[in-house]
Homo-oligomer: A and B are copies of this chain.
Amino acid sequence: MVQKFNNHIVTDLPFLKEKKLLVACSGGLDSVVLVHLCAALDFDFTLAHCNFSLRGAESDGDEEFVRQLASKLGVECFVEQFDTGHYAETQRLSVQMAARELRYQWFDELLQSKRLDYILTAHHADDSLETFLINLSRGTGIEGLLGIPEVNGTIVRPLLPFSRKEILAFAESEGIEWREDGSNASTAYLRNKIRHEVVPHLKELHPAFLQNFQNTQHFLGQTNDLVINHLKELKQKMFRHEKGVVKIQISELEKLQPLDAYLYGLLSEYGFTEWNDVKSLLGAMSGKQLISKTHRLLKDRDCLMLSKIEIKANTSYAVHLNETTSDLPIKLKLEEWKTLGETAENVVFLDKEKLNFPLVLRNWKKGDYFYPFGMRGKKKLSKFFKDEKMDLISKEKQWLLCSDEEIVWVLGKRADERFKVEESTQEIVKITWHT
């Protein structure tokens, strides 16, 4: 029994031998067996225990158990207490998701600060089956039916091929002690309901159910790889990169069948997972757009334009006289000047006395208007943009230089009539945009 576990690790995960490992240990059966395996294999490891403070004295008992296990084995043990309930509330997560996030955040910190190489967790075949059934119960795509990878970046799961039953047999044959997790015994959680009520019946359907299930997940993983390859080829063919924007010909998209699945496959990685919305966008008027957390998808005549949303820490910046900006998104130089020089796309001359310093650099907002240089009246910026035939993304990227609330210069496009140098002007400011 022990041999079977050792063999798997030595044969399939040989790189662990020479590394510094962090073994996540709750004190429960699976992780305690993993710890004993690491000790038996003479690995260089330390323990990490998360106390999620969810079960009062029981949680503290687990912590104490892990500390003692570490000291018995003569290895170091890191312990961290989390206020999981609070985190879940503030982050609007389920308690299980919150615990998961806290756990991996802390492991990553430990890995970096202690210069360790890999985190080992005790996930096993039954965990994969449970996750599969949870996702199935909620409705999912192929991704939700795939297994957890045995090696994923710095996270390694050496027990993944083994069943809970095998792990239990291992523990019993070696006289290993562990802490029963009180929450396992109840069916309060979906996972426990699956573990105790669904899985035992499933396993009765076939003597090799779990092995067959692992094969199925392996095949599904390969099928998913084919899909990934297919979509990658399609993207190479269809996505035209132009100045930070990806242009996609709508007529080419519409050829793809099934369209829903292709829209999802091509655009989900940019946060557009509602293919129905994307489908309506294909036939929408120019200018319509979808916004994901990270990207913007804009319909522009016969194309979709995909661009990253730039996260602006601050949407307006102060620009001082006699200074060249250095930590702003663009470089502006404001100088006092003697005479009116030649205006250019990136240079304007303005009447200093009409301006209130510091000036303000910001993007367009709804309702903006200005008095275009050389014209008598005022004009809405939206109208000005339209006349300039600017697409939505260019509009959003457009910088404006303002004096208080009044627009002084639509950068690169037009200055404002109100601030122009006149005969009466006493002092001139030259503004240069170093593009």
Chain A residues near B (Cβ < 8 Å):
133-134, 136-142, 144-145, 190, 193-194, 197-198, 201-202, 204-206, 208-209, 211-213, 215-216, 219-220, 222-227, 229-231, 233, 257-258, 260-262, 265
Contact = CB atoms under 8 A, between A and B. Distances in A.
Given A198-B201, A198-B202, A201-B198, A262 B138 contact: no
B202 A139 contact: no
Given A190-B205, A198-B201, A230-B229, A220 B138 contact: no
A197 B261 CA distance: 34
Nearest to A260: B222
24 contacts: A136-B202, A136-B213, A137-B206, A137-B212, A138-B206, A139-B212, A139-B215, A140-B216, A141-B216, A141-B223, A142-B142, A193-B201, A198-B201, A201-B201, A222-B260, A222-B261, A223-B223, A223-B261, A225-B257, A226-B261, A226-B262, A226-B265, A227-B230, A230-B230
Contacts of A227: 223, 226-227, 230
Given A205-B190, A227-B227, A230-B227, A216 B257 contact: no
A149 B288 CA distance: 36
Nearest to A132: B136
Given A201-B201, A230-B226, A230-B230, A216 B136 contact: yes
Contact of A198 (B198, B215, B233, B261): B198
A134 B216 CA distance: 12
Given A226-B261, A260-B222, A205 B137 contact: yes
B190 A198 contact: no
A139 B216 contact: yes
A54 to B, nearest CB: 22
Nearest to A256: B229
Contact of A223 (B142, B204, B211, B213): B142
Contacts of A204: 193, 197
A264 to B, nearest CB: 8
A248 B190 CA distance: 50
Contacts of A258: 222, 225-226
A225 B260 CA distance: 11
Nearest to A196: B201
A258 to B, nearest CB: 5
Nearest to A212: B139
A144 B215 CA distance: 13
Contacts of A142: 142, 219-220, 223
A216 B205 CA distance: 22
A229 to B, nearest CB: 7
| Best-surrounded residue of A133, A194, A220, A222 (most CB of chain B within 10 A) | A222
